[in-house]
């Protein structure tokens, strides 16, 4: 036989087995014989020897039945049917009404069911036992069964086991694998000389090579066919990683980030953006309004400007929406439905300075949850304000952004938003199909003039989750938020 290149624990285990008449070994016997405390060493060595045919391993799965939480209670206070029976035999007239007074509803209902199965009937509202001796003997059998736990499944009465398996929380099964190792003829034939434990070198170090010691050393052979564990480490959630990537792309393009609250007024979320006060998207069914506070004050002066724009266009030359503008409606607090509410306020605070601003933040809409909708999601928002900014620049900026994100094919199509003119829809090509990712446009004078903004403002807002679905190849948006660890571990680094 060629020298079987065995590991030290394998050598020790095989030698001990050879030196003994005994063929079949339990784990405990192996641990004692080999002077090991770690079960994993024995199991590992056994595995190695099995692979070479020197030992054979037998696995036996046993099932132990133990008391579950209700079982513990039953042991302490008695089974429910036992307690009902004790009561029934102790009172004068065991009526249903008396029973309901004595036991709580969650016990009385199922309890009576159990008694009926034992042969108790109800006659004129009173519980009557046909055969008390039989009932008491069944009750005793059940109690004895529970008293005997924990116990191997094979040592238990089948009928009672079935019975208790059907009842909730009384018993639980635990599977255990018991292994035994047997030395084979081939294992017996391995010569002693191969079974001396030696220092086996598994790593070549410079120190080792500097002396001659390596010449006599024994080297551990690598088994490249073995399975190995995949190393795992902490990492960002793919959504967070994507947000970071988007940030760095915008920062690279000269934008600064805007972070702002998501509790806002309808005034900034909608009126400032020339969304008419009777627009359907403002309804309760689509927007989350806050109960508390019921109102968030806005300045009369500001609301006055919106009022005149909305009612007749003010000085913009627009005709406005007509109707009468309500200050109460404007002061209603809500959870922002888009991040445009923040960029418009940024512009109101800095109406004259050219800027490039972006945000990646959370928005809320009353959507039923399904494969493509969540009531809480994120938008990628951005604006460019500067003299001479135009549609061409807007389209180029969006194309550049998506190209940097890895989607070179982008197209825009005409769209409508109350606050932009012209308005665009942005689509990217993915697996041969065009997917809509967001909207964009140039703010209308009805939006910019009341705030004192003079240069053109290019604006866009796009769905982050939609993009995430593309990047991660998902067909269900919910996958992003269910913390499925297996899935999370398999996600690429973004």
Between residues 11 and 338, which has the closer beta carbon with respect to ligand PHE? Answer: 338
Backbone angles phi, psi at 434, to 5 degrees: -90, 125
Between residues 320 and 441, which has the closer beta carbon with respect to ligand PHE? Answer: 441
Between residues 48 and 441, which has the closer beta carbon with respect to ligand PHE? Answer: 441
Contact code string over 84-123 relative to ligand PHE, x by CB under 6 A: ----------------------------------------
Q: Distance between CA 342 and CA 357 in Å, rounded?
A: 10
Other CB atoms within 10 Å distance of the CB of residue 216: 6
Other CB atoms within 10 Å distance of the CB of residue 256: 12
Between residues 269 and 331, which has the closer beta carbon with respect to ligand PHE? Answer: 269
Contact code string over 312-341 relative to ligand PHE, x by CB under 6 A: --------------------------x-x-
Between residues 25 and 417, which has the closer beta carbon with respect to ligand PHE? Answer: 417
Residue with token string 């009369």? 300
**∠ CA 234-238-240, rounded to 5°:** 90
Between residues 451 and 459, which has the closer beta carbon with respect to ligand PHE? Answer: 459
Q: How far is the CB of 378 from ligand PHE (least distance, A)?
A: 11
**Interface with ligand PHE by CB under 6 A: which range of 49-57, 243-251, 328-336, 456-464?**
456-464
Between residues 82 and 337, which has the closer beta carbon with respect to ligand PHE? Answer: 337
Q: How far is the CB of 444 from ligand PHE (least distance, A)?
A: 10
DSSP for 383-448? Answer: EEE-TT--HHHHHHHHHHHHHHHT---EEEEEE--TTEEEEEEEEEEETTEEEEEEEEEEE-HHHH
Residue 26, SS3 per DSSP: strand
Q: How far is the CB of 306 from ligand PHE (least distance, A)?
A: 18
Contacts of 333 (CB under 8 A, 6+ apart): 263, 264, 265, 266, 289, 290, 293, 294, 295, 296
Q: Distance between CA 269 and CA 332 in Å, rounded?
A: 10
What number of chain residues touch ligand PHE (CB under 6 A)? 11
* 460 is a contact residue toward ligand PHE (CB under 6 A): yes
State the alpha helices, DSSP H only, in 22-157.
Answer: 27-34, 39-51, 69-77, 80-90, 96-102, 105-117, 132-147
Identify residues 195-224 at the interface with ligand PHE (CB under 6 A): none
Q: How far is the CB of 412 from ligand PHE (least distance, A)?
A: 12
Tell me the CA end-to-end span of the chain in Å, nearest whole number.
Answer: 53
Cα maximum dimension of the chain: 107
Q: How far is the CB of 106 from ligand PHE (least distance, A)?
A: 50
Element (H, E) at 171: strand 171-183
Numbers of helices and strands, H then E, in the chain: 20, 17
Identify residues 239-278 at the interface with ligand PHE (CB under 6 A): none
39 touches 31 (CB < 8 A): yes
Between residues 4 and 461, which has the closer beta carbon with respect to ligand PHE? Answer: 461
Contact code string over 31-60 relative to ligand PHE, x by CB under 6 A: ------------------------------
Q: Distance between CA 336 and CA 270 in Å, rounded?
A: 9
Among 48, 314, 456, 461, binds ligand PHE (CB under 6 A): 461
What dihedral angle (degrees, nearest 10) is formed by the CA atoms of 245, 404, 392, 316? -10
Q: How far is the CB of 302 from ligand PHE (least distance, A)?
A: 21
Q: Which residue is nearest to ligand PHE (CB)?
A: 461
Between residues 331 and 342, which has the closer beta carbon with respect to ligand PHE? Answer: 342
Between residues 63 and 256, which has the closer beta carbon with respect to ligand PHE? Answer: 256
**Interface with ligand PHE by CB under 6 A: which range of 170-178, 260-268, 458-466, 468-476?**
458-466
> What distances in angstroms separate CA 339 from CA 276, 377, 384, one per listed residue?
18, 11, 15
53 touches 187 (CB < 8 A): yes
Contact code string over 415-454 relative to ligand PHE, x by CB under 6 A: --x--x-----------------xxxx-------------
Residue with token string 């989350």? 288
Q: How far is the CB of 248 from ligand PHE (least distance, A)?
A: 22
Q: How far is the CB of 341 from ligand PHE (least distance, A)?
A: 9
Burial 167-204 (b: 16+ CB within 10 A, else e): beebbeeeeeeebbbebbeebeebeeeebeeeeeeeee
Contact code string over 338-357 relative to ligand PHE, x by CB under 6 A: x-x-----------------
Between residues 46 and 438, which has the closer beta carbon with respect to ligand PHE? Answer: 438
Between residues 330 and 440, which has the closer beta carbon with respect to ligand PHE? Answer: 440
- The contact set with ligand PHE (CB under 6 A) reads 338, 340, 417, 420, 438-441, 459-461
């Amino acid at each position: 036989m060629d020298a079987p290149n065995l590991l030290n624990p394998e050598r020790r285990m095989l030698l001990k087995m050879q030196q003994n008449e005994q063929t079949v070994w339990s784990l405990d016997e192996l641990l004692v014989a080999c002077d090991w405390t770690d079960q994993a060493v024995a199991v590992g060595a056994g595995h190695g020897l099995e692979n070479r045919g020197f030992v054979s391993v037998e696995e036996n799965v046993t099932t132990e039945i133990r008391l579950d939480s209700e079982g513990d209670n039953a042991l302490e206070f008695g089974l429910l049917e036992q307690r009902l029976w004790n009561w029934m035999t102790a009172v004068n007239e065991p009526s249903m009404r008396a029973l309901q007074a004595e036991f709580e509803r969650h016990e009385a209902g199922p309890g009576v069911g159990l008694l009926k199965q034992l042969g108790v009937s109800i006659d004129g509202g009173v519980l009557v036992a046909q055969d008390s001796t039989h009932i008491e003997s069944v009750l005793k059998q059940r109690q004895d069964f529970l008293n005997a736990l924990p116990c191997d499944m094979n040592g238990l009465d089948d009928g009672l086991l079935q019975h208790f398996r059907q009842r909730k929380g009384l018993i639980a099964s635990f599977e255990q694998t018991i292994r035994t190792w047997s030395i084979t003829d081939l294992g017996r034939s391995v010569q002693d000389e191969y079974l001396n434990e030696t220092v086996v070198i598994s790593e070549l170090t410079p120190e080792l090579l500097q002396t001659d010691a390596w010449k006599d050393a024994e080297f551990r052979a690598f088994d490249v066919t073995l399975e190995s564990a995949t190393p795992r480490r902490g990492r960002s959630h793919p959504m967070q990683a994507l947000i970071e990537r988007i940030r760095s792309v915008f920062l690279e393009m000269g934008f600064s980030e805007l972070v702002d609250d998501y509790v806002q007024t309808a005034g900034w979320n909608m009126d400032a953006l020339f969304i008419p006060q009777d627009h359907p998207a403002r309804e309760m069914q689509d927007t989350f309004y806050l109960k508390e506070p019921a109102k968030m004050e806005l300045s009369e002066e500001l609301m006055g400007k919106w009022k005149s724009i909305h009612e007749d266009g003010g000085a913009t030359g627009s005709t406005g929406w007509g109707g009468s503008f309500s200050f109460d409606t404007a002061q209603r607090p809500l959870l922002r439905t888009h991040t445009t509410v923040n960029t418009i306020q940024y512009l109101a605070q800095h109406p004259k300075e050219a800027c490039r601003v972006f945000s990646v933040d959370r928005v809320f809409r009353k959507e039923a949850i399904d494969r493509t909708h969540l009531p809480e999601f994120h938008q990628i928002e951005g604006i460019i304000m500067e003299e001479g900014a135009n549609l061409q620049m807007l389209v180029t900026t969006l194309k550049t952004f998506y190209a940097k994100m890895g989607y070179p094919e982008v197209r825009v199509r005409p769209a409508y938003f109350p606050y932009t003119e012209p308005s665009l829809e942005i689509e990217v090509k993915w697996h041969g199909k065009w997917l809509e990712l967001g909207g964009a446009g140039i703010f209308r004078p009805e939006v910019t003039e009341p705030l004192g903004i003079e240069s053109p403002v290019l604006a866009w807002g796009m769905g982050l989750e939609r993009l995430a679905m593309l990047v991660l190849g998902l067909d269900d948006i919910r996958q992003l938020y269910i913390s499925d660890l297996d899935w999370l571990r398999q996600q690429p680094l973004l």
